[in-house]
Amino acid sequence: MKIVGIVPVFLAVGASSFLLFFLISPIAVSAEAVPMCPFSWSTTLKAGSIGNDVLKLQQFLNTDPATTIANSESGSVGMETTHFGQLTKQAVITFQEKYASDILTPNGLSKGTGVVGASTRAKLNALCTGVTPQVSQTAPSVPSNTLTLTAVEQPIGSLALSGALYVPFTRVTLTAGSEDVTVSRITIERIGPSVDINFANADLLLDEDSSFVGVAYFNSNHQATFKKPFTILKGESKTITIAGDMAADLTGHEGEIAGMKIVSIEATSPITGSLPITGTFHTMNSSLLIGAVTARLSSDDPRGDRTRFINDTGIIFSGVRITADSHEAIRLDSITWEQTGTAGSSDFTNIATIVNGVSYPATNNKRFYTSVFEEPIIIQKGNSLDIAIKGDITTSGSNRTVKFDINDAADINITGISYGFGIYTTPEDPIGTSGNSTFLTVDGTADTDSITPFFSGSQVTISGGAVTGISKN
């Protein structure tokens, strides 16, 4: 038996919200032997993925001493979890490099990516055909009408480099009971022998799809509060990561060590679990340089407003070109476009992101259209990539406009291959304070901060048709 959490006393903070303060009794879990193989994986898994496929992946990797997730505690034999964390990612990289000839070489790679894509799944499925005794964790039942906090595998402590984005510090899984739960506030605290100015800000991320929930800034008490609400449906779980965007220059703070702990959570249901939750610690470093990425207008971009007609197809709405500098190769994981014109989602269809001529479907959430690349797109040092958004106009929408922007530079989701940190895209050309087919900054130069939107696309006006001739009988 192992203690993995404790039940707190919770106090009402308002008519319909609760705040977790302290703890009183243990919750225990037990382990039992289960057969691991045969099993077949059919979906892409990566850092942040959650579910039974992750559990089975950890159990399988733990059958080989070379790819063991952990030697003790979370992730070890008998303590596998449903959360794909950094330890799991490292074990997957080891697995990929062990079977490089089957997984990496056919894809032109020499190092593992940590993403369980098609080639990795094929090898896993080929190997997992026998019966392998394993140990699995039996999860506690979900109490009714509560929000349950569950400890998960924390990130691995390492270096926090100047300008690095989404440096992961602390993780926790939130599970709703018999009712939907809205989380309204999460307060964190910066801890350790460091200073707040080492951080540009803190980020709240949802691990399941690496989506960005909100940003917060440290106050004089070294605390930051995320105030953007999000909802967890009844019976479902979401794992969140508290991450940091590091200051552009950490010179003078090398060797300082910082961590983040979650000190309070407010929600519309009573909360059970353990607070505070302290994650990992990272050491500030200004000598190692992460990669840099610049963006300019793509040759595919229309470079100006224009008119198109109902039923027109294959329209390129906006396009950018991104370039990796000489410090490290980069990985494009996803891109999100925002439709800011007056047209509704029914006025256009078949929206897709085009990357170097290859089409990737985009899923929409209100006005945002996101393409996620299940097999991340690698851009080698010094190379460039053209990215555009394309679609068709339907029979509706006459006299309305379509305009696809990139709201924030971080919506071009890029990670450095060498160090694994997020990289912020900086504009290169054209730059202005306003206009279309333009990257926007405070003063119209590359030397100041970007503003919203990061990239302002060109506008398409939808016309109902054209008159080609008039005859009189």
What CATH number does residue 46 fall under? Answer: 1.10.101.10
What was the pLDDT predicted at 140?
A: 46
**Do 67 and 176 share a structural domain?**
no
- Specify if 234 maps to a domain: yes
Query: In this structure, which amino acid lies at residue 160?
Result: A
Assess if residue 29 is contained within a domain.
no
Domain end position, chosen among 97, 131, 165: 131
Q: What is the pLDDT of residue 376?
A: 84
What does the alpha-carbon distance between residue 2 and residue 303 come to, in Å, rounded to a whole number? Answer: 61
pTM strictly above 0.75: no
47 within domain boundaries: yes
Residue-number span of the structural domain to which 240 is assigned: 147-285
Count of Cβ atoms closer than 10 Å to residue 179 Cβ: 15
Q: Does residue 229 have a cis bond before it (omega within 30 degrees)?
A: no
Do 280 and 303 sit in the same domain of this protein? no
User: Can you give the pLDDT at residue 447?
Assistant: 77
pLDDT at 138: 44
**Range 392-419 burial, b when 16+ CB lie within 10 A, else e:** ebbeebeebbbbbbbbbbbbbbbbbbeb
- How would you classify the pairing of strands 257-267 and 230-232? unpaired
Number of domains present in the structure of the chain: 3
pLDDT digit string (tens) for the chain, length 473 residues: 222 333 333 333 343 444 443 332 332 233 333 457 888 998 889 887 877 888 889 999 998 989 999 887 677 888 788 778 888 999 999 999 999 999 999 888 888 998 999 899 999 999 998 644 443 344 444 456 899 998 788 998 999 999 999 999 999 999 999 999 999 999 999 999 999 999 999 998 886 655 678 889 999 999 999 999 999 999 999 999 999 999 989 999 999 999 999 999 999 999 998 889 999 999 999 999 999 999 999 999 999 999 999 999 999 999 999 999 998 999 999 999 999 999 999 999 999 999 988 999 999 988 999 999 988 899 999 999 999 999 999 999 899 999 999 998 889 999 999 888 889 899 998 999 999 999 999 888 887 778 889 999 999 999 986 544 444 44
pLDDT at residue 466 in the model? 54
Question: 308 and 270 in one domain?
Answer: no
Handedness of CA 62, 64, 68, 71 (dihedral sign): positive
Clarify whether residues 301 and 274 are in a common domain: no
Do 79 and 191 have their domain in common?
no
Q: Are 271 and 146 in contact (CB under 8 A)?
A: yes
Task: Give the end of a domain, one of 285, 308, 326.
Answer: 285
Question: Does residue 197 fall inside a structural domain?
Answer: yes
- Please tell me the predicted confidence (pLDDT) of residue 303: 94
- In this predicted structure, what is the pLDDT of residue 130? 62
Shared-domain flag, residues 306 and 243: no
Q: For residue 106, tell me if it sits in a domain.
A: yes
Q: What is the pLDDT of residue 132?
A: 44
Asked if the structure places residue 139 within a domain, the reply is no
The reply to whether 27 falls in a domain is no
Residue 451 in domain: yes
Q: In which residue are the tokens 């206009």 written?
A: 435
Backbone conformation region of residue 163, classed left if phi is above 0, alpha if psi is from -120 to 50, else beta:
left
| Burial grade of 12 (CB within 10 A; 0-12, 13-18, 19 or more) | exposed
Residues 57 and 117 in one domain: yes
Tokens standing for 302?
């229309």
CATH number at residue 185: 2.60.40
Half-sphere exposure (Cβ direction) of 50: Cα atoms closer than 13 Å: 19
Q: Which of 413, 402, 432 is nearest to 338 (CA)?
A: 402
Same domain, 348 and 400: yes
- Judge if 329 and 379 occupy the same domain: yes
Q: What is the pLDDT of residue 283?
A: 96
- φ and ψ at 198, to 5 degrees? -70, -10
Q: Are 267 and 307 contained in the same domain?
A: no
Largest CA distance in the chain: 93
Q: Assess whether 156 and 76 both reside in one domain.
A: no
Q: Which two tokens stand for residue 309?
A: 């007609």
Q: Residue 72 has what pLDDT?
A: 73
Domain boundary among 233, 261, 285: 285
Say how far apart CA 179 and CA 269 lie, in whole Å: 8
CA distance 265 to 176: 14
Same domain, 245 and 158: yes
